[in-house]
Amino acid sequence: FWLKKLRIKPRRSLEGRVEAMGPTYFHLFSLAFGGSFVSLTLQGCGGGGGTTPAPTPSTPAPTASPTPSPTPGPAPVKPLPSFVPIKAVSYVSPPCKGLDADPSCSPPPPADLVQVGYENQWGESGRDDLGTISRLNANAVRVMEAFGRESHHSHKEFLDRAQSVGLHVMPGFTTDMVCDDFDCYQSWYDAATVAFKLGYISGQKWHTAIPMIVLMNEPNTLNFEGTIKPPVKPTNAADKAVARVKAALSALDGFLTAEKDFGVTGTDKVNITIAWGWESLDSIDNVIIDKTFYGFQDMIAGVANPSIAGYTLKGVTQDELMDNYRSRWTNSLNSPSNWHFIQTTVDNEYNQYFGDVPWFLSSFVGNDLSQDDMEKDFSDTLSEASGGGPFLGVTFKEFQTTYEPEFSGMFGLGTATFGNGTTGYVCQEDVIRHTPVCERWKLFCLTSTTQSRTPQAMASAWGGSFESRGLCAPSKSEQVIV
């Protein structure tokens, strides 16, 4: 199904839904969509590098403290498996515990975890977080802020390490960038252009570890606040729909234009998704009423006629927009709910609206479930995703909890440092001054935190093992759940 290509079957009911929108929609759809989806080669080859500026640390490196001997060793090299069924983990792993629990987190550390300065966290010679995920028998990682939080440091090492342990990478754009009047074109164009030079693209082809990019995370929240004067959020449902669709379309326009200007051509383009937030809303065209999958219909309506959101294309033509949508688009949804509820509210109704257009859970939490229930949900979603239908799989949220107390992450941070005790220099560009701020952070060991024992449940359901060289040594004051 998905190994070298994503084959998407004809969208059976889409023409009827577009025709119902009116003659303008149907004419545009007939010209460009043609009623069917086409095969898409997912992966290019090569890697890439980027010019790394000399870091200018704002604080001195902390002193390392003793650490337990890392066992086991780094995860072994293994071939890159099929991307589907998707068995992914969201790689969120901040080097401190959160603003309330750890004053050193203010200001927070750089969010771009793909940059080479974090290699002591995810790399083979460090804590080997990617190896831990690989041992669980996951086949992908989602990284949330891999475009836009500009570190100006290479991303190629992360991609190479992930690929070497059999993990695909789904890099995502940070969503709260500058979007004046919800027009995100320039910010997404600029962020993509910078990232392309840092390892995502080489020789006009995407790195082979990348099958898909996440264009936005929950644009329905309208949190585009990466500037001193963010756009004023509308208050009524119709205006909110226009704002989120305008943001999504303009971001897609900017990304596709950056690809075109960078010379990325042919069948080696990656797939594209937007991870919509879990709300029951009406789609912009009112075809979907009070459903959690409103965003899927938003994109159908917006791509068919961008003026529905008050947007005029800047870098691509209408035909190019529609061609990329029909050949590269995948629907995705963030959900805090268990799989049974998701099946009832989304999966069982999906086909009647969207036919065989693929979709997956871009964020799956299940934080109120027992270990047995978590294991059942992981097993059931894997079975559903292996059945050849439109559902492709899940991304578990998340590798490490980002909040205290610890709710959703598989791991928390211990009190002992790991290895040499620090990350490398990690950087983040100031969005106003466009200058990088760089420093080192302490590198802590990991504790297994969730009462649902998520790593054990995941390993059992996915046929892997729960082993991590990054775990803290058990002690009277800091016991590890095993």
Quote the domain boundaries for residue 411: 42-462
User: Does some domain include residue 20?
Assistant: no
Which residues, including other chains, have CB under 8 Å from residue 195's CB and lie 6 or more apart? 146, 147, 155, 171
User: Does some domain include residue 36?
Assistant: no
User: How far apart are alpha carbons 190 and 80 in whole angstroms?
Assistant: 30
Q: Which two tokens stand for residue 217?
A: 């995370």
User: Does some domain include residue 12?
Assistant: no
User: Does some domain include residue 469?
Assistant: no
What is the pLDDT tens value at each position of the chain, 482 positions in all? 333 344 334 344 444 444 444 444 444 444 444 443 333 333 333 333 334 444 443 433 333 333 333 467 888 888 999 999 999 999 999 898 765 556 777 778 888 999 999 999 999 999 999 999 999 999 999 999 999 877 778 999 999 999 999 999 999 999 888 899 999 999 999 999 999 999 999 889 999 999 999 999 999 999 887 777 788 999 999 999 999 999 999 999 999 999 999 999 767 799 999 999 999 999 999 999 999 999 999 999 999 999 999 999 999 999 999 999 999 999 999 998 999 999 999 988 998 999 879 999 999 987 678 889 999 999 999 999 999 999 999 999 999 976 544 456 888 888 899 999 999 999 987 766 677 788 999 999 998 766 668 899 999 999 999 999 999 987 633 443 33
- What's the total number of domains in the chain? 1
Tokens 């995948």, residue located: 330
User: Does some domain include residue 66?
Assistant: yes
| AA identity, residue 327 | S
DSSP 213-281: EEEEE-GGG-----SSSPPPPP-SHHHHHHHHHHHHHHHHHHHHHHHHHHT--TT-PPEEEEEE-S--B
**Domain containing residue 136: CATH number:** 3.20.20
User: What's the pTM value of the predicted model, to 2 decimals?
Assistant: 0.85
Please tell me the predicted confidence (pLDDT) of residue 298. Answer: 98
Using DSSP's 3-state secondary structure scheme, residue 299 falls into helix
Which residues, including other chains, have CB under 8 Å from residue 23's CB and lie 6 or more apart? none
User: Does some domain include residue 293?
Assistant: yes
H-only helix segments in 386-468: 454-462
User: Does some domain include residue 3?
Assistant: no
Using DSSP's 3-state secondary structure scheme, residue 316 falls into coil
Of 129, 183, 122, 119, the residue nearest 151 (C-alpha): 119
User: Does some domain include residue 304?
Assistant: yes
Please tell me the predicted confidence (pLDDT) of residue 431. Answer: 62
